[in-house]
Amino acid sequence: MSETTAPATSLTSATSDSTTEVASTTEVAFTTEVASARSLSARGRRARIGLRVLQVVLALFYGFASALPKLIAHPSAVESFDRMGWGSAGMYTIGLLELAGAVALLIPVLESVAAMALGALMVGAFIVQVAVFDGQYAATPLILIVPLALIAWARRGHNAELLRLVRRRA
């Protein structure tokens, strides 16, 4: 009987060791998955915060540094728009579009559309800089297109929500 018990004990011991290894491996894999998920969620959270900060900075830029001089008819803005041949009507229109875009960058359902609209405005600004002002500040609108494109792409999920809201009202 001891012969039968001994092999059974060693078999049980071997089974117990492999079960412990499997359990240990499963625990390590689970712990790694949880840590990886936490890392991804922390990374995603930091990315969302960074994107929101970028949106606020761009909204402040478009609202104060870009739209405000046009809306208060600052002499430099008046001179620029007179040189383009657009006069005060063009200056106020562009100023209002920039201000609307700045505000819309801060409204969740409008973020992506606002970034696309401001990006289109920057394409126009680039063309005007090259055609009228000999490319003096042509790099500025191009530089601004990059973060606007990032915002438009990252917040593209809100476009479906905006479309639903528009269809519901129509």
d(CA 8, CA 167): 73
Q: Tally Cβ neighbours within 10 Å of residue 86.
A: 16
* % pLDDT > 90, the chain: 72
Q: Print the domain residue range for 86.
A: 2-169
**Which of the pair, 57 or 12, is modelled with greater confidence?**
57
pLDDT of residue 42: 87
> What domain count does the chain have?
1
Question: Is the pTM above the cut of 0.85?
Answer: no
- Please calculate the CA angle 161-54-81 and round it to the nearest 5 degrees: 95
Range from 26-35, 99-108, 123-132, 143-152 carrying the lowest mean pLDDT:
26-35
Q: What is the pLDDT of residue 32?
A: 56
What's the rounded mean pLDDT across residues 130-142? 95
